[in-house]
Amino acid sequence: MSEQQIAGPAWVKDAVFYQIFPDRFARGEAIEHTPGLVFKPWGADPAEQGFQGGDLYGVVDKLDYLKSLGVTAIYLCPIFASACNHRYHTFDYMQVDPLLGGNDALRKLLDEAHARDMKVVLDGVFNHASRGFWAFHHILENGGDSPYIDWFKIQDWPLRPYHSDDDNPPNYDAWWNLPALPKFNHQNPGWRAHIFDVAEYWLKFGIDGWRLDVPKEIEDDDFWREFRVRCKAVNPEAYICGEIWTKSERWLQGDMFDATMNYIQTCATLSYIGADSWNGYRRNNLEVSPIDAQQFVDVMEDMYASYDWGINEVQLNLLGSHDMARPLWIMGDKKSAMKLAMLTMFSTPGAPCIYYGDEIGMSAGDDPYCREAYPWDEPAKQDREMFDYIAQLAEVRKGSDALCHGRLAFLPPQNNVVLFTRTTEHQQYLVALNPNAEGVTVSLPETGELIWQTGGESSLQDTQLTLPAQSGVIVALG
């Protein structure tokens, strides 16, 4: 690992993120919808799609709940005007969806979050828009006479915006050949100027950064370099995080993104911690399959060595998201494995990110099932022990300079137990992870004091650490 040269936003190193899918998180008490709207019942089967009526005022109402969990930053799935409940089909980047409360609701959320020292990061979906996007609609109405014709890549006429299949695909560039998602012409100067204006506008409005949807599909490094320059000119501490599921050296040289969503660590953690309870999961580039301690270490060391240490410190670490099955489901609904995976995420370099509902043991398969409504009025569906566990873990991390800022070093695995240290000038912690179905004893390099444990009572006698099955500890060495 190289000495630190690249410095990401300082606040991210200490942050605990919480990802929210707005339509399914909470309905606000303050919102006043246009009369006559009809939402799906709260908690309806997510396979029905449709809108269940979550909004940004609902997020405001739950900020104290998030604060009690230890959350210091919120990552919101898209909130701009759209005709889809997930809002990855954008109509207008300058307008927060009225169903979410509009721009006033975002203003309220930012003010209330910042008053609690919490950051808010928005989802930027800039590779493609929707067929309702104003410039594409202009083309639908005017054909080749539209001045916006070069904002997209049109092959022939008339356009087929609704009816297409493999034998009759859309006759314009569309994401995954979905006619609802026309791709932009990324070389068009008007489009580029518009996206830069959007990025700057919302940062000036008060957001704290951007999570970028499928940014590798915008194959133009100069665009992303300029995007970074524009964002950092508004707020030098703005967080720019790209959704890239694989190794990302190209984008993490300090001139484009600060970080990526760390799906490499996600996959390694679920594969190692959930090896005995794995649910046979594959998704996109997420190849979850059982691995042992040495394989986990090999993946992690290779990942850390690929980036400057300043990048590793601000990666967005996660166990679950809106794009994958929930981690508890992947690990066979074994709560002990979920707790051990959380310990892994909270003790490694980077910012941990909790997907809404994982803190109360929500479990479901792939999209759309992982996008169900939070069961606020159903206490029986809320695992408060899991909530308390994560809140306490966040508190331990908050109080530890080593866990937030320390250098990391792996020790040789013992008995399929991963061992690593986090070290600063004045503090050294050792983390031990035992996902095995039986207890084991491992030797530590020196004695210390147990400050955190999960999965039963561990014991430390001199340098001999005994770990129950599916357990983990944090030890203060020295």
CA R_g for the chain: 23
What distances in angstroms separate CA 464 from CA 292, 377, 434, 445, one per listed residue?
22, 46, 14, 9
Locate tokens 């809404």: which residue?
356
DSSP 354: E
Say which of 243, 258, 372, 383 is annotated catalytic: 243
Q: CA 4 to CA 309: how far, in whole Å?
A: 5
Task: Report long-range pairs for 364-368 (Cβ below 8 Å, ≥24 apart).
Answer: 364/46, 364/325, 364/326, 364/329, 365/325, 365/326, 365/329, 366/283, 366/324, 366/325, 367/322, 367/323, 367/324, 368/46, 368/47, 368/49
Say which of 208, 213, 358, 383 is annotated catalytic: 213
- The token pair at 8 is 């990401």
Residues 6+ positions from 43 with CB-CB distance below 8 Å = 52, 372, 373, 375, 378
CB 12 within 8 A of CB 317: no
β partners of residue 419? 411, 432
243 counts as catalytic: yes
213 counts as catalytic: yes
Locate tokens 């639908």: which residue?
140
Q: 348: closest CA among 295, 286, 299, 415?
A: 299
- The token pair at 148 is 């916006």
Which residues are designated catalytic? 213, 243
